[in-house]
Amino acid sequence: TPAMTSRGLVEKDFEQIAEFLHQAVSFSLKIQKEHGKLLKDFNKGLADNKDIDDLKTAVEKFAASFDMPGFQMSTMKYKD
């Protein structure tokens, strides 16, 4: 939590994080139900899974909207 609040997250942002976690668990349970509990079967269910891909995109967009304290793109050696 301290790492997130230092990036500027507020209560509503934590609610969004909780929603992301809820979605991840729900998708995981659905994949387990459809493909089985073995890791190799679960991994097959992850491949080309639109729900997981959409969640990943949403999380990346959300996370990118917050600054990282002490980190500046202009000082990066490898920017790509």
Comparing CA positions, the residue from 25, 33, 73 lying closest to residue 52 is 25
Q: Looking up tokens 């991840």, which residue turns up?
A: 24
Does residue 49 have a pLDDT over 90? yes
| pLDDT confidence of residue 80 | 65
Which residues make Cβ contacts (< 8 Å) with residue 24, sequence separation at least 6? 55
Rounded CA gap, 20 and 15, in Å? 9
CB 40 within 8 A of CB 72: no
Position 14, amino acid: F
| pLDDT confidence of residue 64 | 86
pLDDT interval class at 12 (50, 70, 90): very high
| pLDDT confidence of residue 7 | 82
pLDDT interval class at 33 (50, 70, 90): very high
